[in-house]
C-alpha cells in the first residue's frame, strides 16, 4: 500500500484544501485513535501547536476525533515540536501530536506524530493510520468518550529540559544574544531559556499574531537576525523556524553559520572533551568540506537521504549520536530524541563558552565548497539514468574534480525537474561542471 496522505514529515498542505480541512482532521484523529486502541488500553495523547491562526481550528478537530475514539487528550497550546516530543516521553503518554507546517507561511499547516519514546514514527505506523482512514468510523458512546484538559506548566517543563542539556558548571553570563523566534512556537520559550542561563537577551520575531509566522524572520529569513545582531552589538544571534526544530546562527561580524558547520562544531566540542565519536550523519546535500574535515579527524561520515527523519534513522541504525542538515535540522541523540533548535544552539554555545574560542575559530580550518545547483526541466518518463551522454559527461566531470568535489543528480519529488548539483573547491570549476552536466541532460 502506498501512502496517500503522509509525506516525509507528517501530513502537510494548504489550509482549506484537502487534506488540511477540519472534517479530514477529525477523521484523522479518529483513525489514529483506533490504531492506538488496538493495544487494549485507554490511550492518552498530547497535542501541541505553533502560532498559526488555523491551529485553533485543527486542534479542536483533532481533539474531537480522538475523543470520539475513546482517547484522552492533553493540550499544551503553542509549544515547539521538540517540546511535544520531550513531554510525550516525560509524561509516559502514548502519542505526541504537533500541529505545524514548520518553516512554511501561515496559510499552510500540517500534523505530525511522535511515539511514546518521543521519536518519529515509522512508515509502517503511518500505513496503519491510512488503512484506518479507509474504514468506517466506530464512534464510541458517551460512557467511552475521551476527556481533554490543558497542561498549564508545559512551557516551564520544557524550558527546564532545555537548560538541563547545557553544561551544569557553565553559564552564558557575559554574552549578549539576539533570539529570533520566527513569530512561531518558541516565542515564549526560547528567550527564557537563554536568559535563565545567564545571557543578556534581545528578542525579535517573538510577537505572533496568527498570520506572521516565518514572515521575514526566523531561520528561513536570517537577514533580519544579521541586522539585529549588528544593530544591538550582540555576540551571537540565534534564529529558529516556526516550530523551532531548525537553527541558524550568526556571530558579531554578521557571518551566518549553517547546519553543516554547526554539526562540525558539535562533533569537535565533544572530541575536545575526550568523548569517543564513532561517526556523524549528514545528507546528500551536506557540504563536502565538512565531510573532509571530519574525516581528517578520524570521524566516519555517512550521507542519508535529504530529510531529518532519514538522518535520525541512520543514526539509530549505527548507534551514533550526532547528525544534521545544512538547513539547520541538527540531532544530538545524547541530548534529545529528535532535532531541537534550542538544544542545538546550546550545544554550540557550550563549545564557545567552555573553550573561550569564538565560533569562527572553531571553524578556521573548514571552508565550505562553493555549490552550483541547476534545475533542468525533463520530459515525463525521460530515462535520464540510462543516458549515455550524461554518463560520459559525469565521468569527465568526476575526473576534473579529482576527489576534491562531488556531483549529485536527483529528480525533484514534486516537479518534472532534474536537480544537478556540483561542489568543488573552486567556484568557477563548480559552475562549469554543473553547466556541462545540465547540457548533457538537455541533449
Over residues 371-385, the pLDDT tens digits come to 999 999 988 778 888
Is 352 found in the same domain as 384? no
Helices 22-37/123-133 angle, 10° precision: 110
Mean pLDDT score, 192-203 = 98
Q: List, edge to edge, every strand of the sheet that includes 44-49.
A: 11-14, 108-114, 95-99, 44-49, 72-78, 148-150
For the chain, the helix, strand and coil percentages under 3-state DSSP, each to the nearest 5: 40, 20, 40
Nearest to 296 by CA among 280, 275, 319: 280
Establish if 3 belongs to a structural domain: no
Establish if 220 belongs to a structural domain: yes
- What is the pLDDT, as a whole number, of residue 8? 78
Statement: residue 291 has pLDDT above 70: yes
Is 270 found in the same domain as 351? yes
The pTM score is 0.92
| 141 vs 416, higher pLDDT | 141
Over residues 343-366, the pLDDT tens digits come to 999 999 999 999 999 999 999 989
Establish if 2 belongs to a structural domain: no
Q: List, in order, residues 6 or more apart from 210 with CB less than 8 Å away.
A: 51, 52, 53, 106
Mean pLDDT score, 256-273 = 97
Establish if 5 belongs to a structural domain: no
The model's confidence at residue 306, banded by pLDDT at 50, 70 and 90, is confident
Is 354 found in the same domain as 273? yes
Mean pLDDT score, 118-141 = 94
Is 81 found in the same domain as 185? no
Mean pLDDT score, 127-141 = 96
Q: What is the chain's mean pLDDT, rounded?
A: 95
- Tell me the C-alpha distance between 155 and 184, whole Å: 14
For residue 233 the three cell numbers come to: 552589538
| Strand ranges (E), 40-137 | 44-49, 72-78, 95-99, 108-114
- What is the pLDDT, as a whole number, of residue 414? 64
The model's confidence at residue 403, banded by pLDDT at 50, 70 and 90, is confident
Statement: residue 435 has pLDDT above 80: yes
Kindly report which listed range (185-194, 226-235, 371-380, 422-431) carries the lowest average pLDDT score: 371-380
Is 352 found in the same domain as 395? no
Expressed as residue numbers, the domain containing 200 is: 157-254
Is 44 found in the same domain as 107? yes
Is 310 found in the same domain as 215? no
- What is the pLDDT, as a whole number, of residue 9? 84
Angle at 76 between CA 74 and CA 77, to 5 degrees: 130
The model's confidence at residue 307, banded by pLDDT at 50, 70 and 90, is confident
Statement: residue 413 has pLDDT above 80: no
Is 30 found in the same domain as 140? yes
Establish if 1 belongs to a structural domain: no
Statement: residue 292 has pLDDT above 80: yes
- Total domain count, the chain: 4
**The last residue of a domain, from among 152, 171, 192:** 152
Is 262 found in the same domain as 191? no
Is 176 found in the same domain as 100? no
DSSP 370: P
102 labelled catalytic: yes
The model's confidence at residue 269, banded by pLDDT at 50, 70 and 90, is very high
Over residues 86-120, the pLDDT tens digits come to 999 999 999 999 999 999 999 999 999 999 999 99
The model's confidence at residue 255, banded by pLDDT at 50, 70 and 90, is very high
- Tell me the C-alpha distance between 259 and 194, whole Å: 20
**The last residue of a domain, from among 310, 345, 362:** 362
CATH, residue 314: 3.40.120.10
- Tell me the C-alpha distance between 326 and 257, whole Å: 9
- What is the pLDDT, as a whole number, of residue 135? 96
CATH, residue 385: 3.30.310.50
Establish if 6 belongs to a structural domain: no
**The last residue of a domain, from among 254, 276, 306:** 254
Nearest to 362 by CA among 218, 265, 229: 265
Is 326 found in the same domain as 197? no
- What is the pLDDT, as a whole number, of residue 32? 98
User: Active-site residue among 102, 115, 344, 430?
Assistant: 102
Amino acid at each position: 500500500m502506498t501512502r496517500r496522505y503522509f509525506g516525509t514529515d507528517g501530513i502537510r498542505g494548504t489550509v482549506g484544501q484537502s487534506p488540511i480541512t477540519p472534517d479530514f482532521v477529525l477523521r484523522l484523529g479518529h483513525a489514529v485513535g483506533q490504531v492506538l486502541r488496538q493495544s487494549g488500553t485507554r490511550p492518552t495523547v498530547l497535542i501541541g501547536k505553533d502560532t498559526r491562526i488555523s491551529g485553533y481550528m485543527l486542534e479542536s478537530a483533532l481533539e474531537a476525533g480522538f475523543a470520539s475514539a475513546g482517547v484522552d487528550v492533553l493540550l499544551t497550546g503553542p509549544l515547539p515540536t521538540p517540546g511535544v516530543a520531550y513531554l510525550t516521553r516525560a509524561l509516559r503518554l502514548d502519542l505526541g501530536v504537533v500541529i505545524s507546517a514548520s518553516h512554511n507561511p501561515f496559510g499552510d499547516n500540517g500534523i505530525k506524530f511522535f511515539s511514546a519514546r518521543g521519536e518519529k514514527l515509522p512508515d509502517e505506523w503511518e500505513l496503519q493510520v491510512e488503512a484506518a482512514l479507509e474504514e468506517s468510523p466506530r464512534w464510541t458512546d458517551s460512557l467511552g468518550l475521551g476527556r481533554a484538559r490543558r497542561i498549564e506548566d508545559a512551557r516551564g517543563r520544557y524550558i527546564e529540559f532545555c537548560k538541563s542539556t547545557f553544561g551544569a558548571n557553565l553559564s552564558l553570563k557575559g554574552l549578549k544574544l539576539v533570539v529570533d523566534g520566527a513569530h512561531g512556537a518558541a516565542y515564549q520559550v526560547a528567550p527564557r531559556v537563554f536568559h535563565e542561563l545567564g545571557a543578556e537577551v534581545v528578542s525579535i520575531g517573538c510577537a505572533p499574531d496568527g498570520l506572521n509566522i516565518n514572515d521575514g524572520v526566523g531561520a528561513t529569513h536570517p537577514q533580519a537576525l544579521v541586522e539585529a545582531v549588528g544593530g544591538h552589538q550582540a555576540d551571537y544571534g540565534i534564529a529558529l523556524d516556526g516550530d523551532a526544530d531548525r537553527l541558524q546562527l550568526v556571530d558579531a561580524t554578521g557571518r551566518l553559520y549553517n547546519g553543516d558547520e554547526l554539526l562540525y562544531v558539535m562533533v569537535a566540542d565533544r572530541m575536545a572533551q575526550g568523548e569517543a565519536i564513532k561517526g556523524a550523519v549528514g545528507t546528500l546535500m551536506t557540504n563536502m568540506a565538512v565531510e573532509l574535515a571530519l574525516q581528517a579527524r578520524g570521524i566516519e561520515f555517512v550521507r542519508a537521504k535529504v530529510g531529518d527523519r532519514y538522518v535520525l534513522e541512520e543514526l539509530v541504525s549505527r548507534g551514533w549520536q550526532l547528525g544534521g542538515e545544512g538547513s539547520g535540522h541538527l540531532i544530538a541523540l545524547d541530548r534529545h530524541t529528535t532535532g531541537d533548535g534550542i538544544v542545538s544552539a546550546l550545544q554550540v554555545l557550550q563549545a564557545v563558552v567552555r573553550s573561550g574560542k569564538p565560533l569562527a575559530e572553531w571553524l578556521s580550518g573548514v571552508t565550505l565548497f562553493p555549490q552550483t545547483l541547476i534545475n533542468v526541466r525533463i520530459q515525463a518518463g525521460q530515462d535520464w539514468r540510462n543516458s549515455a551522454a550524461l554518463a560520459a559527461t559525469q565521468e569527465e566531470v568526476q575526473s576534473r574534480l579529482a576527489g576534491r568535489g562531488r556531483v549529485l543528480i536527483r529528480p525533484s519529488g514534486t516537479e518534472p525537474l532534474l536537480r544537478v548539483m556540483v561542489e568543488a573547491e573552486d567556484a568557477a570549476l563548480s559552475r562549469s561542471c554543473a553547466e556541462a552536466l545540465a547540457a548533457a541532460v538537455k541533449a
